């Protein structure tokens, strides 16, 4: 099975001096590269002669982390042509060989984990432990998806499969029927900035492992770590034409990729509005099938595009009236304010049941006011600046709205200066129809609600168009069972934080407007980048059915 030889990568042990020294060295090396240029990677060309966009450090926007070439619509055409040309050979590669390449990439990533984490500290303002978690998740995807795809791509006789309930497929004398999956074509990977390595790596590697080629379009805020990823994958053995690096404006490069008739799969993580637009565009534009053979022979003329889209959340944690408040408040704080709340899985609504309300709110207030807000390169920082000025301004508008419509319970202090710092803020007395209660803020803002009963708390938690993650802190077995049955979100966590999904352990993905497609890090994720095929052969010779 895909998980048989899989083990999750271990997090860095920053409580040990050696790990701290290695991280400091990596940060210094990253500082020495500030202002470096980054070209497009199209086929075997490094394209430098393009307009460049500056990537700045969110804690100090005067620091230019790198200058990144910006793709054009002509570059989209070149990238698609290169990947379509490379596709037949990559698809037809022995599955074991693709797995070995991706395992080599995982090994390289482990060796460079601190250097990759340091890039994200400055580019995406990720504190040390968050940046390291991004790297370990990417390593996990490389190995997990490689194993999963190898199993799916290897032909198996149908009689070897067992359906549920002990039912097996019949074995018919004189007939050999086998079943396998193969890649569909070229995948456009349109990635977010908040998990700048893990998510773009997961979407890209699932596609590559499945036998597709990939064009990576990173977010404007985090293109440098994506450049590092493509270089690493090529070094590990992925052919240059099988994986392209194409940063650029979403309205130009991203839209051109979505609409291109040579794109078979679209893997997207981002906002609901953009995701729904991609779904609509893909439905209107089928894909022209890539060459079926290495000499350019063609298969079916057209096929539907396939879209995988993760689109955010407005996630709730319920604290029951018998919950362990030490555990519950700690989990809520980490879920709401880790990485400044810039996670689609983050808690933005906290619902407290019955007589637990006053004590939980008191503890929450003290905890929030003690949070350390600061630059991400400082190992003491828990809440970093948000990704940039526009995000800062948008979140501060929500905080101003909360001060008008609700009660400000607690607010941590944020550094003064030019960085994009937003003070972690908690509001009570929030109206159910308030924008604070309904809209995805994507920042360190938490709304607290009171529920008289656990049943009322469940109703409040489900009062959202999103259904990504949710959490329950309770000691009541009946309430826990009710939550399992009725709290219908993609990922429900009980008596633990609701962020930090782990590949192979917590398959991640939502319901309703939180997304479409299989769960990342789960047993079915790679399959959606593949087409199933069945081949049946009559093996009789001159009326004789040989033994099989």
Q: Which residues are catalytic?
A: 310, 344
Please give the full DSSP string across 309-346, using - where no structure is assigned.
EE----EEEEE-TTS-HHHHHHHHHHHHHGGGG-STT-
Chain centroid offset of residue 44 CA = 28
The Cα 360–Cα 328 span in angstroms is 8
Could you identify the residue written with the tokens 């497609």?
A: 517
SS3 426: strand
Could you identify the residue written with the tokens 């409580």?
A: 15
235: its two tokens: 């070094």
Q: Listing from the earlier edge strand, what are the strands of the sheet with 407-411?
A: 407-411, 425-428, 445-451, 347-353, 315-319, 469-473, 491-494
39: its two tokens: 């070209």
The Cα 349–Cα 446 span in angstroms is 6
Alpha-carbon distance values, 27 to 38, 106, 136, 161, 179 (Å) = 19, 21, 18, 50, 49
Taking alpha carbons only, the member of 457, 493, 487 closest to residue 473 is: 493
Q: b/e map of 431-461 (b: 16 or more CB within 10 Å)?
A: eeebebbbebbbbbbbbbbbbeebebbbebb
264 backbone dihedrals φ, ψ, rounded to 5°:
-90, -35
Taking alpha carbons only, the member of 512, 521, 518 closest to residue 272 is: 512
451 backbone dihedrals φ, ψ, rounded to 5°:
-125, 140
Evaluate whether 309 touches 285 at the Cβ level (below 8 Å): no
Dihedral angle sign, alpha carbons of residues 361, 448, 384, 14: positive
Taking alpha carbons only, the member of 350, 135, 86 closest to residue 240 is: 86
Question: CA 449, 371, 198, 18: dihedral to nearest 10 degrees?
Answer: -150
Please give the full DSSP string across 233-263, using - where no structure is assigned.
HHHHT--GGGEEE----IIIIIHHHHH-TT-
SS3 521: coil
Evaluate whether 280 touches 258 at the Cβ level (below 8 Å): no
| Pairing mode of beta strands 315-319, 347-353 | parallel
First to last CA, the chain: 24
Taking alpha carbons only, the member of 162, 150, 202 closest to residue 4 is: 150
Could you identify the residue written with the tokens 């009963």?
A: 453
């Amino acid at each position: 099975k895909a998980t048989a030889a899989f083990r999750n990568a271990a997090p860095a042990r920053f409580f040990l001096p050696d790990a701290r020294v290695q991280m400091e060295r990596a940060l210094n090396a990253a500082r020495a590269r500030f202002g470096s240029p980054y070209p497009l990677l199209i086929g075997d060309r490094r394209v430098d002669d393009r307009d460049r966009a500056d990537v700045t450090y969110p804690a100090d926007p005067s620091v230019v982390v790198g200058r990144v070439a910006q793709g054009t619509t002509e570059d989209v055409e070149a990238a698609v042509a290169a990947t379509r040309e490379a596709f037949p050979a990559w698809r037809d590669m022995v599955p074991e060989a693709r797995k070995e390449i991706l395992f080599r990439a995982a090994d390289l990533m482990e060796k460079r984990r601190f250097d990759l984490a340091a890039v994200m500290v400055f580019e995406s303002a990720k504190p040390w432990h968050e940046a390291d978690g991004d790297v370990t998740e990417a390593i996990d995807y490389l190995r997990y998806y490689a194993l999963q795809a190898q199993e799916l791509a290897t032909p198996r006789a149908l009689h070897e499969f067992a359906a549920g309930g002990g039912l097996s497929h019949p074995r018919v004398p004189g007939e050999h029927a086998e079943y396998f999956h193969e890649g569909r074509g070229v995948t456009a990977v349109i990635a977010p900035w908040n998990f700048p390595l893990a998510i773009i790596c997961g979407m890209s590697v699932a596609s590559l492992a499945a036998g597709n080629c990939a064009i990576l379009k990173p977010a404007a805020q985090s293109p440098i770590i994506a450049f590092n990823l493509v270089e690493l994958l090529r070094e590990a053995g992925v052919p240059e034409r099988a994986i392209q690096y194409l940063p650029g404006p979403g309205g130009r490069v991203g839209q051109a990729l979505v609409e291109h008739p040579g794109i078979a799969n679209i893997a997207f993580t981002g906002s609901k509005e953009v995701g729904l637009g991609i779904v609509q565009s893909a439905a209107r534009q089928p894909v022209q099938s890539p060459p079926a053979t290495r000499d350019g022979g063609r298969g079916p003329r057209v096929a539907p595009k396939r879209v995988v889209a993760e689109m955010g959340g407005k996630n709730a944690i319920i604290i029951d009236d018998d919950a362990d408040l030490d555990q519950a408040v700690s989990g809520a704080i980490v879920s709401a304010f880790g990485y400044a709340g810039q996670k689609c899985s983050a808690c933005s609504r906290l619902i407290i049941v019955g007589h637990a309300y006053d004590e939980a709110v008191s503890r929450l207030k003290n905890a929030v006011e003690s949070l350390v807000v600061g630059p991400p390169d400082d190992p003491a920082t828990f809440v970093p600046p948000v990704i940039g000025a526009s995000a800062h301004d948008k979140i501060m508008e929500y905080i101003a709205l909360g001060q008008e419509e609700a009660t400000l319970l607690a607010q941590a202090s944020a550094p003064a200066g030019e960085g994009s710092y937003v003070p972690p803020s908690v509001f009570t007395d929030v109206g159910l129809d308030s924008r604070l209660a309904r809209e995805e803020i994507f920042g360190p803002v938490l709304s607290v609600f009171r529920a008289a009963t656990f049943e009322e708390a469940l109703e409040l938690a489900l009062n959202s168009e999103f259904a990504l993650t949710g959490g329950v802190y309770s000691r009541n077995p009946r309430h826990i069972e009710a939550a399992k049955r009725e709290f219908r979100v993609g990922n429900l966590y009980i008596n633990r934080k609701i962020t930090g999904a782990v590949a192979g352990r917590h398959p991640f993905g939502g319901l309703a407007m939180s997304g479409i497609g299989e769960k990342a890090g789960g047993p079915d994720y790679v399959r959606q980048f593949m087409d199933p095929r069945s081949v049946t052969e009559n093996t009789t010779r001159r009326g004789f059915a040989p033994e099989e």
